Chains A and B, each alone.
Chain A
Amino acid sequence: MNDRYLIIDNVNKIFQSKKTATHVLDSVSLTVKRGEYISIIGHSGCGKSTLLNAISGLTTATDGYVILDGKEVNTPGPDRALVFQNHSLLPWLSVYENVALAVNKVFGARKSAKERDEWILHNLEMVGMSHALTRLPAEISGGMKQRVGIARALAMQPKLLLLDEPFGALDALTRAHLQEEVMRIQSDLNNTVLMITHDVDEAVLLSDRIVMMTNGPKATIGEVLDINLERPRNRIELASDPQYNEYRRAVLRFLHEKQQKVAPLPKAGSKTMSTQEEAKERAG
């Protein structure tokens, strides 16, 4: 059971509009162990977010299914917490209230008001945001917003944590800082995590496994790389670690040699052609 905690089986996604059908995901299959940290890497527009949304239930797969902890998922729910690149905090709620909305909804029946309050404070403490409880999202920095987003997700005690380029909009220093925090939290909580990223270093540093996706349309899993680096990991030490650099090379080779040369598929509509080109452009 724990070895097959999350099962993604033959997931296909076709976006159907009036004229064109875009086949984004083609037979994506993956099995994730409980407590595993997985990174999904691939060029922009290949379908990473679409895959994550299918797992979260925000979109339904055209074909195939997702099973989490023995149950098929069809609708979104608090057992699969999401953190987006754009943080999606509610701007009219304070830092505390944003987390409280989730905690009160998820634990309203199971915990007393005092327990919930402590739990909210505990999670905000964990991401180092105790000093800004009454601030509104507009009053804190991008990195802080992302911390609150992570606290909100962790506070739901999800079975699965879904991160969609969580640090993508942050500057390099803030990003490194948050990566450290995520590693620290992960060593405490041992969550099952699926994280989308386009940062090779981030993927190697954080993950137990890296899932590399081929270019769209009809994107699928190209290669899966096990990262056997000891934890806790230290980015400075790793920089001179031959094994670490070998992993990096493997991912870079996949992204820039194997995937760059894929020709656009012939039958695709004009929309997919343009996204293909856009993906190449952004990847460079």
Chain B
Amino acid sequence: MTVESSNQKTGIVAALRVPTAETCKDRLAASGQWLLGHLLPPLVVLASLLALWEILCSLPGAMLPAPSQVVRETWDLIVMPFYDFGGNDVGMGWQVLASLERVAYGYSLAVLVGVSLGVLIGKSTWAMRGLDPIFQVLRTVPPLAWLPISLAAFQSSNPSAIFVIFITAIWPIIINTSVGIRNIPDDYQNVARVLRLNPYENFTRIMLPSAAPYIFSGLRIGIGLSWLAIVAAEMLIGGVGIGFFIWDAWNASMLSDIVLALIYVGLVGYLLDQVVGFIGRRVTRGTSA
């Protein structure tokens, strides 16, 4: 296999033309065109929105800070994301990392339990009939509604927040996994039967890869919900974390800090979504969105 792929590579190299000045210029022009087409629209829209915001919030009697004011007031926070003055008084980087740590625990747990339960429901009609109605009801419970009961159960804020993440992220993972397992084409199962794969081989070589695109779409929804939930949960539990930072800023009437925090929340949420999407594409070799 390795021999072959190196053969293939030499084939490709041999087939390539030596780049001339002409083709280089063409390529530069092409990538310039691409950048112009893809980077320009968001930049223009962003600039216009900022300008609009600036104008509206500079009017007399405006309740919210204008962008220029936000930057001025939060400059220290922007340039020092990792300062640590003890207690809650730490940089935005630490705040976000604290939130991410909770998400990492809760989400990992949700992936583990969610995929297992999804496989069970996908495989066993009995389990599906028993569990599905319960899940359908439980998944409509808003994340924060779980917080009081988990606080009562854990008697501690951190595990409670992690539990809220877990319970929020798990439903789309369960449901998508079970759909993926249920939709494994007969053809693939026939391959497994003809080869007489044992149950373990069948699970790892056929079922999981076949269901992977579904599983990853569940994982992607789950990570988004996790991030939504952690920010809300942290507002209530306190301590270090981007959610409580926002709540704290609100109590101190530091609106500019809130705006900065929202930007952080949005960017990190986007990043999490992209990371899971990227892993999904790698694992499923491009068959998942």
- Chain A interfacial positions (CB closer than 8 Å to B): 56-58, 75-78, 80-82, 84, 86, 88, 90-93, 96, 101-102, 105-106, 117, 121, 130-131, 133-134, 136, 138, 156
Pairwise interchain contact B209-A133, C-beta atoms closer than 8 A: no
Known pairs A78-B194, A88-B190, A105-B196 / 17 extra A-B pairs, C-beta < 8 Å = A58-B190, A76-B193, A76-B194, A76-B196, A77-B194, A78-B195, A81-B194, A82-B194, A91-B287, A92-B209, A92-B284, A92-B287, A96-B1, A105-B197, A133-B5, A138-B287, A156-B195
- Tell me whether A82 and B190 are in contact (CB under 8 A): yes
Q: What's the Cα separation between A133 and B205 when bound, in Å?
A: 19
Q: Are A134 and B190 in touch, CB under 8 angstroms? A: no
- B4 contacts A88, C-beta separation under 8 Å: no
Measured CA separation A91–B285 after assembly (Å): 9
Nearest B residue (CB) for A56: B194
The 10 lowest CB-CB distance pairs between A and B, nearest first, are A88-B187, A76-B193, A92-B209, A133-B4, A105-B195, A76-B194, A134-B5, A96-B1, A92-B285, A102-B195
Answer whether residue B104 sits at the interface, using C-beta atoms and an 8 A cutoff: no
Give 1 or 0 for each of B204-221: 1 = CB within 8 Å of chain A CB. Answer: 011001101000000000
Cα distance A88–B190 in the bound complex, in angstroms:
9
Q: With A77-B196, A92-B284 in contact, do A105 and B190 touch (Cβ < 8 Å)?
A: no
Chain B residues with CB under 8 Å of A56's CB are 194
Find out whether the CB atom of B212 lies under 8 angstroms from the CB atom of A78: no
With both chains docked as a complex, state the minimum distance between the C-beta of A109 and any C-beta of chain B, in angstroms.
Answer: 13
Report B87-141 residues with CB < 8 Å from chain A CB: none
Find out whether the CB atom of B285 lies under 8 angstroms from the CB atom of A88. Answer: no
Q: Please tell me if the beta carbons of A134 and B4 are within 8 angstroms of each other in the complex.
A: yes
Most central of A56, A76, A77, A102 by chain B CB within 10 Å? A76
Closest to A53 in B: B190
Known: A84-B187, A133-B5. A101 touches B194 (CB 8 A): no
Interchain CB contact under 8 A, B209 and A90: yes
Instruction: Give the contacting residue for B8; candidates A106, A121, A131; CB below 8 A.
Output: A131
The number of A-B residue pairs with CB atoms under 8 Å apart is 64
21 contacts between A and B (CB under 8 A): A76-B190, A76-B194, A78-B194, A78-B195, A82-B194, A88-B187, A88-B190, A90-B188, A90-B206, A92-B209, A92-B210, A92-B284, A92-B287, A93-B209, A96-B4, A105-B196, A117-B1, A133-B4, A134-B1, A134-B5, A138-B287
Q: Is the CB of B1 within 8 A of A90?
A: no
Q: Output the least CB separation between B109 and chain A (Å).
A: 27
Contacts of A101 in B (CB 8 A): 191, 195, 205
Cα separation A93 to B190 with both chains bound (whole Å): 16
B201: Cβ under 8 A from any A Cβ: yes
CA distance A92 to B194 in the complex (A): 19
Taken together as a complex, chains A and B put the C-alpha atoms of A131 and B188 apart, in Å, by 25
Q: Which residues of B contact A121 (CB under 8 A)?
A: 4
The residue on B at minimum CB distance from A88 is B187
- Nearest chain A CB to B199 CB, angstrom units: 14
Q: Is the CB of B195 within 8 A of A130?
A: no
CA distance A102 to B206 in the complex (A): 12
Within 8 Å CB of A88, what residues of B?
187-188, 190-191
Which of chain B's residues has its CB closest to A82's CB? B194
B25 to nearest A CB, angstroms? 31
Shortest distance in angstroms between B89's beta carbon and chain A's nearest beta carbon? 49
A45 to B119, CA, bound (A): 35
Nearest chain A CB to B3 CB, angstrom units? 9
| Nearest chain A CB to B227 CB, angstrom units | 29
CA distance A136 to B285 in the complex (A): 9
Determine the chain A residues whose CB is within 8 A of the CB of B284 once the complex forms.
Answer: 92
Contact A106 B188 (CB under 8 A): no
Shortest distance between the CB of B145 and any CB in chain A (Å): 39
Cα–Cα distance between A90 and B201 once the two chains are bound (Å) = 14
Instruction: Say whether A92 contacts B212, CB under 8 Å.
Output: yes
- Complexed CA–CA distance, A82 and B193 (Å): 11
**Nearest chain B residue, comparing its CB with the CB of A162:** B194
- Report which of A75, A105, A106 forms a contact with B201, defined as CB distance below 8 A: A105
Q: How far is the CA of A136 from the CA of B284 in the complex (A)?
A: 11
In angstroms, Cα B285 to Cα A57, docked, is 32
Of chain B, the residue at the smallest CB distance from A104 is B195
Cα–Cα, bound, A105→B287 (Å): 25
Given contacts A84-B187, A88-B187, whether A133 and B1 have CB atoms under 8 Å apart is yes
In the assembled complex, the Cα of A77 lies from the Cα of B196 at a distance in Å of 6
B4 neighbours in A (Cβ, 8 Å): 96, 121, 130, 133-134
Least Cβ–Cβ distance between B203 and chain A, in angstroms: 14
Interfacial chain A residues near B212, Cβ < 8 Å: 92
